[in-house]
Structure 1
């Protein structure tokens, strides 16, 4: 793994570790919780059905009911209301989102005082005293109305009991799971410290009850997103109001907790609450998410006073309905904050939950929710680490925003199609935070390195190479190293005489124009400018970035440099400047490359025998009448379909070993057939020459010179043959010609 990839991976893992502290709840961040809640609320709002459920109706103690009958209502009125609901309107189930925590005995107490004082000596009153007492015993009347009917009474649990306050008041119904059975489960039930129950005689009238408090909303931000279906008090487990109503509506089937796998009964493996054939998804605290149907008052509301007096405008609403009785009157303070409205009638929260359970619309947040979030974060961290280490910043940004789009699409798809709650807000924030971390690192750290690379190499290598170098700084070393490379030297022929004909200003303009064009050619072929030496150019291929095709790129550059000089002819003539001719030498081999110089000045350059040879070969171009000469190593590194004219076997100044030198001709297919025939005859003539068959060699070179395609090298060899006839080189001659000048 490269250094750059390792750094990028470290950044990703560092951000991942920070978010893992939140995901694992080791150091939760409220801001992230707010964002996640916001995205949950957004999903709720985007998918509201917006229609009432005809199976569920709310009997409302509204402002009109309070104005007509006052408050509180006596239990005999409530008894009459219950009778009306079951006898007149034929409701299916009735649930009270109200707790009857105190006895309604004021009228009875008053009667007892009157009987003992004012009416004690009135025989007619004494005779009817018991009958009157029974009529004024409103709790008994209410209990009678509840008895034998599918009625669920509400109560509330106290999460905490203030000092000096009684922990438990009133009575509860039998638990859903008794304490002994509850020991079989290792579930994180919410465990309150007390409760506020109903008057004992009222609770005794019906075996059904359910709590209507919501401790998870209090724990979070007070918004009713989820409601526990069970709480554990004093070892036993009790149902919520909604759960008891649904169970009663289904015929009171057994209720079970379901785990995956079934034999591991822990919160981590808790999947759902089963009510007969109905399965309700729950979280690790046995809480269900409320599947809201719409804004406040989406359900059908019937005023309690209309029920009491039998004046309901549309009695069909109540026929066979599941009825919840609660209040929307502001003065009774049963208003809640929900994802769909910050002022929402409390009883309608339970109505939504009852409706959702019966219609299988409860969304599931799996117990392994934190694991899903952690795995998502790790996958995103690795993806962005790879992207920022391998791709450009715009491409990495596209991947980052693509990941966000994928997260949103997946979350919405699972919400709508599978009723599954996937983390959304926190993964989006994680992706943005990770993206910003990588972006800031790239801007403040990597870009500084890129600017340094551009400063060091921008004038010497083509822009695309600078970009590659900046993208892969690990591949660049300023320290000296040995590499297989190709070096190029070019020089202007007759520059001294040219410079004598122009003043300094014109000469500078000419050279600037010439060097600009030649530099452009070199850089187009991925070359690095080493230096300008007056009219000469030194360039190399294979550094600072490795280049497996360094010889080919150098050959192509050299041939284009020669051609491009002619493109300047018309412009130079118009300016009164002379035409230029250049010679180019190319050498391939092992070279030392790196920052070299002194403590006063350093330069990125190449050194070595192959470099010196390239300089010598450029100087030989005048001798052989060619524009380009390359070494045998360069020829061998070129493609096999290239043609070369072998010029000679020479010993250049400073080297004892002979070197074969060549004129590159370009791809064989691009050559004229006659020229290809000349090259073959030239190779044969060289063999005769080196075999000291002077007459045959001279005849071949002479015929080549007379073929209509003359070449300076033919004349050169004819002159040498004439000399060697008279000065035989000896039997051990290797055919090489020794140059004593540079």
Structure 2
């Protein structure tokens, strides 16, 4: 066996061992669990029902209810009216409260009046007699309890698992006792405390169920614990209690498999003819119908004020809860990040009634182990002999069949079969196979791509990979060309556009300009807002760096013209750009700090390119270039000398040229070129009248007004402030 085949075999064995260890729980792989969770969520959404379930309505304590009825908690005489409205006038079958009433209601002031009657006003018989008459009216808890007693109401409460537990209120009667789980594996959630309803309310109601949440590792709610153990007794969830009363079903029965000696954990609850599958924690998977709004929401204030027609809710389940963010009952779920807890109960109740709760039975562990072993053997033997294309086809086929099979099990049999380990193992085997096959020949290419992939076009990366000796991140000094471009008036453009539209515009513009630069072999150094800096001649030396830079600049202007037409269709502003080009000795390399570095260029020639870009506005030029760029660019490019200048901070004068196309002027390009050259000669010899006459002819010929205006202003200045007798025609800029 060759060394490469031995390495491949060892890698395959490692992948198989890790996969099996994950299945058996010896080594849990977090990313596989996360993929399993994502696949579950995807199946949940694909298999979700459509439309609203009319059997369950949510009486929503929403923002409008709080605005009309006052802040929460409401006085319980108002809740008594709500219960009577739902039960007596609307005729609902069951009312479930996703609310706990753990403290007496003191909003009526009855307690204060009683303290006065027993204290400072004890001697006033009239006060005591009047208080006795008013007490039934002011005892809001009693009024609420009376409403509960005459209505089919299931209250809600919660359990806690803190190390320092507290308890309040009265728990309902438990469903099961420790003796019911004797001899079985009991891994149910164990509570240490609770917050239940006050005794008078609990006694008056038909029952109560807890709404204690259970969260998965990612903080989302996918399950409801139908049973929770507290002090050796087992209590049912609110959803189970409501569904049980709605169905008029007997107390549920515990479902243990016949082979309980093998893994004697609870697997289901038997509710009449319905089987409710649960996991080891007696938690059931929530069968979400869809996003928030899969059930009818009615504002609690509308119910309280009698705005619903009588009998509108006849025979339905009414769940009283809240969607108001301020009441803190919003949870993260696979179908929404701010999902009302009351709708979670609605989904659970509907699933119990319909028998549509998905099951992840204990035997899926053995199923997954067998599938992993069989698939590993099949793929390993095939990949040893297959080439890249058949290997990819095999992995694609395995992925499709695995996913299709698990989706069919979900939709047809309500089974939740594991899929992530199989998919991850398949992809890992293919990845190992591919990496080992390509490792030796790809090593150099990967190194080059890592060094230069973010800077240069793909073609340059390929050339560097083919010739690694050309690649170096070390500092170097060489002749190169640099380009600076900028959008004119971009600040005013950006201030007048919405952020989303501005983002689309600038991304479209930068993509088009970058494509032009890379198409001509340039390296994008950086984006500075709307500005672009690029250079030619590195990392691969190029004798045509100046020519390529000029061709890229001209192409950028042509693309900018096309973009103006495109942007007009979107109603976007027109973009006009100026480009500065400079050629000379520059230092290039990976520069920066210990915190951040960048492959860039610096030097006087770089600074000149930036200054030339700034000057395009004053000259009305599209592409300004230095004398060295013009000399190095070679033949075939039309140039127009514009000026000799001395930029701020430099003593050496620079001749600047514009790279022009045939459409630079609206008249005859050659005539305009000759006229401007003659004007420039007259200007430099201080023949002001001749120069002005030529400027008039240029303007009449359609030459750019900015350039004509600039030289007219200079001539006016020099007439009032004549230059020195030995003036060399150089104009000095006092600002950058």
Question: Is TM (by shorter chain) over 0.5?
Answer: yes
- Residue 153 of structure 1 deviates from its aligned partner by 1.1
Q: What residue in structure 2 maps to residue 109 of structure 1? A: 111
Instruction: Tell me, yes or no, if the aligned pair for 2:104 and 2:141 is still in contact at 8 Å.
Output: yes
Instruction: Tell me, yes or no, if the aligned pair for 1:9 and 1:382 is still in contact at 8 Å.
Output: no
Q: Does 1:246 align with 2:243?
A: yes
- Residue 3 of structure 1 deviates from its aligned partner by 9.9
Q: 1:8 to 1:374 in 2, by over 3 A?
A: farther
* Residues 264-279 of structure 1 mapped to structure 2, 5 A cutoff: 264=261, 266=263, 268=265, 270-279=266-275
Q: Does 1:259 align with 2:256?
A: yes
- Residue 184 of structure 1 deviates from its aligned partner by 4.5
Q: What residue in structure 2 maps to residue 133 of structure 1? A: 135
* Residues 352-371 of structure 1 mapped to structure 2, 5 A cutoff: 352-371=347-366
- Residue 210 of structure 1 deviates from its aligned partner by 1.1
Q: What residue in structure 2 maps to residue 167 of structure 1? A: 166
Report the Cα distance in structure 2 between the residues aligned to 1:48 and 1:315, rounded to whole angstroms. Answer: 32
Q: What residue in structure 2 maps to residue 319 of structure 1? A: 314
Q: 1:14 to 1:212 in 2, by over 3 A?
A: same
Q: What residue in structure 2 maps to residue 180 of structure 1? A: 179
Give the match's secondary structure for 1:342.
strand
Report the Cα distance in structure 2 between the residues aligned to 1:207 and 1:11, rounded to whole angstroms. Answer: 62
Q: 1:50 to 1:315 in 2, by over 3 A?
A: farther
- Residue 189 of structure 1 deviates from its aligned partner by 0.8
Q: Does 1:302 align with 2:295?
A: no
- Residue 427 of structure 1 deviates from its aligned partner by 2.3
Q: What residue in structure 1 maps to residue 523 of structure 2? A: none
* Residues 485-504 of structure 1 mapped to structure 2, 5 A cutoff: none
Report the Cα distance in structure 2 between the residues aligned to 1:145 and 1:421, rounded to whole angstroms. Answer: 43
* Residues 192-271 of structure 1 mapped to structure 2, 5 A cutoff: 192-215=191-214, 217=215, 219-261=216-258, 264=261, 266=263, 268=265, 270-271=266-267
Q: Does 1:434 align with 2:424?
A: no
Q: 1:261 to 1:447 in 2, by over 3 A?
A: farther
Report the Cα distance in structure 1 between the residues aligned to 2:281 and 2:21, rounded to whole angstroms. Answer: 21
Gaps of 5+ in 2: 444-736
Instruction: Tell me, yes or no, if the aligned pair for 2:175 and 2:236 is still in contact at 8 Å.
Output: yes
Q: Does 1:388 align with 2:383?
A: yes
Partner residue of 1:413 out of 390, 408, 423: 408
- Residue 117 of structure 1 deviates from its aligned partner by 5.8
Partner residue of 2:145 out of 143, 146, 151: 143
Instruction: Tell me, yes or no, if the aligned pair for 1:104 and 1:139 is still in contact at 8 Å.
Output: yes
Instruction: Tell me, yes or no, if the aligned pair for 2:372 and 2:421 is still in contact at 8 Å.
Output: no
Instruction: Report Cα offsets for 1:228-278 as digits up to 9, x if no partner.
Output: 11111111111111011111111141211223226549555x432111111
Deviates more, 1:17-26 or 1:89-98: 17-26
- Residue 334 of structure 1 deviates from its aligned partner by 0.7
Q: How many residues align?
A: 441
Instruction: Report Cα offsets for 1:390-437 as digits up to 9, x if no partner.
Output: 333322322122111111111111111111111123322221112112
Which protein shows a greater Rg? Answer: 1
Q: 1:306 to 1:63 in 2, by over 3 A?
A: same
Instruction: Report Cα offsets for 1:627-681 as digits up to 9, x if no partner.
Output: xxxxxxxxxxxxxxxxxxxxxxxxxxxxxxxxxxxxxxxxxxxxxxxxxxxxxxx
Report the Cα distance in structure 2 between the residues aligned to 1:73 and 1:265, rounded to whole angstroms. Answer: 52
Instruction: Tell me, yes or no, if the aligned pair for 1:187 and 1:266 is still in contact at 8 Å.
Output: no
- Residue 171 of structure 1 deviates from its aligned partner by 1.5
Instruction: Tell me, yes or no, if the aligned pair for 2:94 and 2:152 is still in contact at 8 Å.
Output: yes
Report the Cα distance in structure 2 between the residues aligned to 1:33 and 1:395, rounded to whole angstroms. Answer: 29
Instruction: Tell me, yes or no, if the aligned pair for 2:56 and 2:316 is still in contact at 8 Å.
Output: yes
Report the Cα distance in structure 1 between the residues aligned to 2:4 and 2:46, rounded to whole angstroms. Answer: 43
Q: What residue in structure 1 maps to residue 472 of structure 2? A: none
Q: What residue in structure 1 maps to residue 23 of structure 2? A: 23
Partner residue of 1:398 out of 388, 393, 398: 393
- Residue 123 of structure 1 deviates from its aligned partner by 4.2
* Residues 642-653 of structure 1 mapped to structure 2, 5 A cutoff: none
Report the Cα distance in structure 2 between the residues aligned to 1:376 and 1:178, rounded to whole angstroms. Answer: 39
Report the Cα distance in structure 2 between the residues aligned to 1:263 and 1:316, rounded to whole angstroms. Answer: 49
Report the Cα distance in structure 2 between the residues aligned to 1:130 and 1:150, rounded to whole angstroms. Answer: 30
Give the match's secondary structure for 2:270.
strand
Q: 1:376 to 1:447 in 2, by over 3 A?
A: farther
**Poorly superposed stretches of 4+, deviation over 6 Å:** 1-7, 445-448
Q: 1:431 to 1:349 in 2, by over 3 A?
A: same
Instruction: Tell me, yes or no, if the aligned pair for 2:61 and 2:320 is still in contact at 8 Å.
Output: yes
Instruction: Tell me, yes or no, if the aligned pair for 1:214 and 1:228 is still in contact at 8 Å.
Output: yes
Q: What residue in structure 2 maps to residue 86 of structure 1? A: 87
- Residue 24 of structure 1 deviates from its aligned partner by 2.9
Q: Does 1:152 align with 2:151?
A: no
Deviates more, 1:77-86 or 1:129-138: 129-138
- Residue 109 of structure 1 deviates from its aligned partner by 1.2
Partner residue of 2:287 out of 263, 286, 291: 291
Report the Cα distance in structure 2 between the residues aligned to 1:345 and 1:81, rounded to whole angstroms. Answer: 20
- Residue 293 of structure 1 deviates from its aligned partner by 1.2
Give the match's secondary structure for 1:154.
strand
Partner residue of 1:328 out of 315, 323, 328: 323
* Residues 307-706 of structure 1 mapped to structure 2, 5 A cutoff: 307-312=303-308, 315-444=310-439
Q: Does 1:54 align with 2:49?
A: no
Instruction: Report Cα offsets for 1:683-724 as digits up to 9, x if no partner.
Output: xxxxxxxxxxxxxxxxxxxxxxxxxxxxxxxxxxxxxxxxxx
Q: 1:446 to 1:362 in 2, by over 3 A?
A: farther
Instruction: Report Cα offsets for 1:494-553 as digits up to 9, x if no partner.
Output: xxxxxxxxxxxxxxxxxxxxxxxxxxxxxxxxxxxxxxxxxxxxxxxxxxxxxxxxxxxx
Give the match's secondary structure for 2:267.
strand
Instruction: Tell me, yes or no, if the aligned pair for 1:91 and 1:318 is still in contact at 8 Å.
Output: yes
Report the Cα distance in structure 2 between the residues aligned to 1:427 and 1:373, rounded to whole angstroms. Answer: 8
Q: 1:247 to 1:184 in 2, by over 3 A?
A: farther
- Residue 197 of structure 1 deviates from its aligned partner by 1.3
Normalised to the residue count of structure 1, the TM-score between the two structures is 0.56
Instruction: Tell me, yes or no, if the aligned pair for 1:182 and 1:236 is still in contact at 8 Å.
Output: no
Instruction: Tell me, yes or no, if the aligned pair for 1:19 and 1:430 is still in contact at 8 Å.
Output: yes
Instruction: Report Cα offsets for 1:369-390 as digits up to 9, x if no partner.
Output: 3333332222221111110223
Give the match's secondary structure for 1:72.
coil
Report the Cα distance in structure 2 between the residues aligned to 1:264 and 1:241, rounded to whole angstroms. Answer: 31
Deviates more, 1:239-248 or 1:257-266: 257-266
- Residue 4 of structure 1 deviates from its aligned partner by 8.8
- Residue 328 of structure 1 deviates from its aligned partner by 0.9
Q: Does 1:63 align with 2:63?
A: yes
Report the Cα distance in structure 2 between the residues aligned to 1:426 and 1:131, rounded to whole angstroms. Answer: 71
Q: 1:445 to 1:281 in 2, by over 3 A?
A: farther
Q: 1:192 to 1:116 in 2, by over 3 A?
A: closer
Q: 1:373 to 1:152 in 2, by over 3 A?
A: same
Gaps of 5+ in 1: 449-742
Normalised to the residue count of structure 2, the TM-score between the two structures is 0.57
Q: What residue in structure 2 maps to residue 529 of structure 1? A: none
Instruction: Report Cα offsets for 1:298-343 as digits up to 9, x if no partner.
Output: 211111122222212x555411001111011111011111111111
Report the Cα distance in structure 2 between the residues aligned to 1:406 and 1:299, rounded to whole angstroms. Answer: 35
